[in-house]
Structure 1
Amino acid sequence: MKKAILFGASGFIGGYLLRDLLQSDIYSEVTIVVRKPLNIQHPKLNMVLADYHNLAQNAAYLVGDDVFITLGTTKKKTPDEKEYYQIDHDYPVLAAQLTKANGATSVMLVSAVGANANSSIFYVKTKGEAERDIIEVDFEHTHIFRPSMIMGSREESRPLEKVFIKVFSVVNLLLIGKLNKYKGITAENIAKAIIKTAQHPKEKVKVYHWEEMKAFSSSSKI
């Protein structure tokens, strides 16, 4: 059995991913890195309390086979671009570097549709640079997931996002062919797809959009 390390367990996708990792019979141990303790107990769960500014100080605890990175923020939460870049780029890359140095072989990164390191748009450029730099860490397998609108019910209130989700429910029907990568997908299905791909890694680097994530989530058996 394998050991998993999850960064971002308190987030929307990370919460579902943590649930699925703990339920999976593939993993004997699940280590999560959080700033504050989560109200959850499980015999397979190891909780590492760490400030990402000083993550290297906790490197000894970051030992596992598969690394799952679902870190990210929003402009509303983090309006300062420097701080935003730290959360969406620096922390994921550092997490990848530290775990790879400890022997991890596969990394699963949640990015975003349109990610492009050469873009002039700050958001997609940041995501693209994070992808590029994590690929350069050189895991045996790097899986990158690029969702568009992330659907589902969040604990935090996001009125505007709720409106977009309702709109996307209709727009999804019109996004066909090459446009289907812009379709919305639930956080739960993203998590299922991530678990499924982690079970049978093949490619050195693989990018997943809506169509692949939807297919994997439908066939997922945790």
Structure 2
Amino acid sequence: MLGASGAVGTAALNALLSLSNVSQLTLLGRKAISGIAVDFVQQHIISISDAHSYQEFLSGHSSAICTLGVGEPSKISKEEFIKIDKKAVLDFAMACKKAGIKHFELLASVGIHPKSRSFYLRIKGELVEALKELNFERLSIFQPSMILTPTNRYGVAQAITLKVWPLLKPFFIGGLRKYRGIPVEVLGQAMAKNIFNKGKGYEMLQWDQFYSVIK
């Protein structure tokens, strides 16, 4: 797992730790996560920009979860965003493929498309197209809209959004259901439990699928 220290990554990690059918879990990151005292968990400090720093730790795993990403893309340059959200993720996926990992899960976003007018949605869309070309036996792309966290992490704008977005749920019906806000705990559980659901090929998971997976 790459990106376990973020909000969604933490939720997915907590869900994995609670599952009885997880026999081995390897966490890769720029720093160790404290408070984990479980025999089946190993942690390795790596450089996300250098696949050679973690390639050896990938063998023996059947699935990979990537929740790596910039929390506030508008706060960094476009070049740095591409370096982290696209190149580092693709390098990780390529390393996973090389190690024989069959199932790759990625935290993305609703609305991504390789030809989107939005720079951020376009880059994510390009990433997914590149991941498809790696031909994993199973590729799961999670596409949440607003991720509802219990605490405000990014200032006034997010504080307002966290208050308002849940009130809009009744208006997101039909084809708009995918824009409903998703509690971060539900999203994390979906990413964890989806590993143990049967599936092959490319799958795109949105609001409805998140809740179906955790039932």
Q: Which amino acid aligns with 2:95?
A: L
The CA RMSD measured in Å over matched residues stands at 1.5
Task: Check whether the contact 2:28–2:54 (CA below 8 A) recurs between aligned residues.
Answer: no
Compute the displacement of 1:76 (Å).
5.4
Question: What is the TM-score of this pair, normalised by structure 2?
Answer: 0.93
- Between the aligned residues of both structures, percent identity stands at 25
Please give the alpha-carbon distance, in whole angstroms, between the structure 2 residues aligned to 1:145 and 1:170.
23
Q: Which residue of 2 aligns with 1:211?
A: 208
2:11 is the counterpart of 1:8: no
Compute the displacement of 1:77 (Å).
6.9
Alignment of 1:158-173 (within 5 A): 158-173=155-170
Q: Which amino acid aligns with 1:30?
A: L
Compute the displacement of 1:182 (Å).
0.6
2:7 is the counterpart of 1:18: no
Please give the alpha-carbon distance, in whole angstroms, between the structure 2 residues aligned to 1:80 and 1:144.
25
Q: Which residue of 2 aligns with 1:46?
A: 42
Question: Paired residue for 2:65, among 64, 68, 71?
Answer: 68
Q: Which amino acid aligns with 2:28?
A: V
Question: Paired residue for 1:83, among 73, 80, 84?
Answer: 80
Q: Which residue of 2 aligns with 1:195?
A: 192
What do residues 174-205 of structure 1 show as CA deviations (whole Å, max 9, x unaligned)? 10000011111011101111222211231300
> Unmatched 5+ residue regions in structure 1?
1-5
Compute the displacement of 1:140 (Å).
0.5
Please give the alpha-carbon distance, in whole angstroms, between the structure 1 residues aligned to 2:32 and 2:122.
32
Q: Which residue of 2 aligns with 1:3?
A: none
Question: Paired residue for 2:138, among 118, 141, 161?
Answer: 141
Task: Check whether the contact 2:12–2:189 (CA below 8 A) recurs between aligned residues.
Answer: yes
Cα separation, partners in 2 of 1:103 and 1:49, compared to 1, 3 Å:
same
Q: Which residue of 1 aligns with 2:55?
A: 59
Question: SS where residue 148 of structure 1 aligns?
Answer: coil
Question: SS where residue 109 of structure 1 aligns?
Answer: strand
What do residues 5-49 of structure 1 show as CA deviations (whole Å, max 9, x unaligned)? x11000000001111112212221110111012112221111010
Question: SS where residue 28 of structure 1 aligns?
Answer: coil
Please give the alpha-carbon distance, in whole angstroms, between the structure 1 residues aligned to 2:94 and 2:20.
27
Greater alpha carbon shift after TM alignment, 189-198 vs 6-15: 189-198
Greater alpha carbon shift after TM alignment, 70-79 vs 84-93: 70-79
Question: SS where residue 206 of structure 1 aligns?
Answer: strand
Q: Which amino acid aligns with 1:49?
A: I
Task: Check whether the contact 1:141–1:201 (CA below 8 A) recurs between aligned residues.
Answer: no
Please give the alpha-carbon distance, in whole angstroms, between the structure 1 residues aligned to 2:15 and 2:181.
21
Greater alpha carbon shift after TM alignment, 6-15 vs 164-173: 164-173
Question: What is the TM-score of this pair, normalised by structure 1?
Answer: 0.91
Compute the displacement of 1:71 (Å).
0.9
Please give the alpha-carbon distance, in whole angstroms, between the structure 1 residues aligned to 2:64 and 2:43.
15
Q: Which residue of 2 aligns with 1:37?
A: 32
Q: Which amino acid aligns with 1:70?
A: T
What do residues 102-142 of structure 1 show as CA deviations (whole Å, max 9, x unaligned)? 11110111110001011121010011111111111111000
